[in-house]
């Protein structure tokens, strides 16, 4: 069996480390934690330039059944990359393998429609997918065109996984504004939630008191601006805390950088945090940075909104409503008035092995369809 992967790299270029790219981590975790496809050949494209700048990726992807093919350099601005389909690369790739792919696994719906209409593509090959991101108003969309292209790509798939039921509901709500009911109904059947998992479920082995971790990206939807303003204000009131962060060059007296390129080193540093925070605003379909923390025993203060009640359950004690309650709970956590929550059970419920196995055994969901499609070929 041979699978062509349509990738979705968003963390590469001169100043970004492709080894920390979320798509790459998801794909690697999939290979590491499942028996699915152990004897299949996976053809994985990677961006030219990004690999050259960060050659360590080759070492992290030494899988005997993964063939890596270099594309031309891609635009490292995600919104532009998503609509800049590399026609020539995929045409040459299909010609190289004489079109002999049993399955296409697309992580970028925006490229999928262009791939599908290629004349040298065998229309009988099934496409399954995963939608990591959609350009929609809730997350600060820059253009409607990208979202429409995203939906057209999803419509070419047998099934398309998404981060959460929350993400699915937001996609369908926005689709209904521009597409007919029968199209939205078809999207509803294709799109299925598939939670991105945890690599481990390691109980906490001690922590550094009064340390807060913010290990999310800089951006509007992560609420990073509000978070740093909140910490600046808190520092004026008290100077007894530290913020561990994966963001470089913050230049603040209370920060410590923990963004090590080596993932084991990063997780070890992350495990020392007292608690983490999520200040997501307007939209959040999932947070791998949060589940990273859960995987090493770090509890997170999270908004009682978006995907988070779905992720942690309604009875999770660290859900906050609004900025005022956020500050109150941060102070209580620092002072020990709110005990440090054990999140081992959350990490265990999200282990990659259990997540993949769950969908492998359910025919209507993502991995179930993967198995079914291979049986039909």
pLDDT per residue, tens digit, the chain (377 aa), is 899 999 999 877 666 777 778 898 889 888 888 777 788 899 999 888 644 444 445 445 678 899 999 998 888 888 888 888 999 999 999 889 988 888 899 999 999 988 987 755 566 778 999 999 998 988 887 666 789 999 999 999 999 999 999 999 999 999 999 999 999 999 999 999 999 999 899 999 999 999 999 999 888 889 999 999 999 999 999 999 999 999 987 889 999 999 887 889 999 999 999 999 999 999 999 999 999 999 999 999 999 999 999 999 989 999 999 999 999 999 999 999 999 999 999 999 999 988 887 776 665 566 666 666 555 54
Cβ-contact 341, 317 below 8 angstroms: yes
List b or e across 170-191, with b for residues whose CB sees 16 or more CB atoms inside 10 angstroms.
Answer: bbbebbeeebeeeebeebeebb
The SS3 call for residue 278 is: coil
In angstroms, rounded to a whole number, what is the distance separating the alpha carbons of residues 3 and 94? 12
CA distances to 17, 62, 63 from 156, rounded to whole Å, are 32, 31, 29
The Cα diameter of the chain in Å comes to 67
Give the architecture (CATH level 2) of 211-349: 3-Layer(aba) Sandwich (3.40)
For residue 304, the 8-state DSSP code is: S
Q: Which helix (H) or strand (E) holds 3?
A: strand 2-6
- Residue 5's beta-bridge partner residues? 105
Q: Does domain 2-197+352-376 have CATH number 3.40.50.2000?
A: yes
Ranges of CATH 3.40.50.2000 domains, the chain = 2-197+352-376, 211-349
């Amino acid at each position: 069996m041979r699978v062509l992967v349509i990738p979705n790299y968003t963390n590469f270029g001169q100043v970004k480390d492709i080894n920390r790219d979320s798509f790459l981590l998801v794909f690697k975790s999939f290979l590491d934690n499942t028996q699915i496809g152990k004897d299949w050949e996976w053809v994985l494209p990677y961006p030219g330039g990004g690999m050259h700048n960060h050659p360590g990726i080759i070492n992290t992807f030494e899988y005997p059944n993964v063939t890596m093919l270099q594309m031309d350099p891609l635009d490292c601005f995600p919104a532009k990359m998503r609509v800049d389909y590399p026609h020539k690369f995929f045409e040459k790739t299909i010609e190289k393998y004489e079109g002999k792919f049993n399955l296409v696994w697309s992580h970028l719906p925006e490229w999928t429609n262009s791939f599908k209409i290629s004349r040298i593509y065998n229309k009988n090959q099934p496409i399954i997918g995963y939608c990591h991101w959609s350009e929609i108003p809730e997350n600060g969309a820059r253009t409607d065109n990208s979202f429409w292209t995203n939906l057209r790509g999803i419509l070419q798939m047998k099934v398309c996984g998404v981060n959460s039921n929350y993400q699915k509901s937001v996609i369908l709500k926005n689709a209904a504004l521009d597409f007919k009911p029968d199209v939205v109904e078809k999207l509803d059947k294709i799109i299925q939630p598939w939670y991105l998992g945890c690599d481990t479920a390691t109980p906490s082995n001690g922590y550094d008191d009064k340390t807060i971790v913010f290990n999310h990206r800089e951006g509007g939807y992560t609420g990073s601006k509000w978070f740093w303003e909140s910490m600046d204000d808190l520092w004026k009131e008290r100077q007894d805390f530290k913020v561990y962060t994966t963001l470089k060059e913050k230049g603040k007296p209370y920060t410590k950088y923990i963004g090590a390129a080596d993932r084991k080193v990063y997780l070890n540093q992350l495990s020392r945090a007292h608690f983490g925070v999520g200040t997501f605003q307007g939209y959040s379909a999932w947070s791998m940075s949060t589940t990273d923390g859960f995987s090493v025993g770090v509890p997170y203060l999270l908004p009682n909104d978006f995907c988070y009640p779905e992720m942690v359950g309604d009875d999770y004690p660290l859900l906050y409503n609004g900025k005022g309650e956020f500050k109150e709970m941060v102070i209580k956590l620092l002072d020990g008035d709110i005990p440090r929550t054990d999140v081992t059970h959350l990490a265990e419920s999200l282990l990659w092995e259990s997540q993949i196995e769950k969908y492998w055994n359910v025919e209507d969901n993502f991995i179930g369809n993967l198995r079914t499609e291979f049986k039909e070929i």
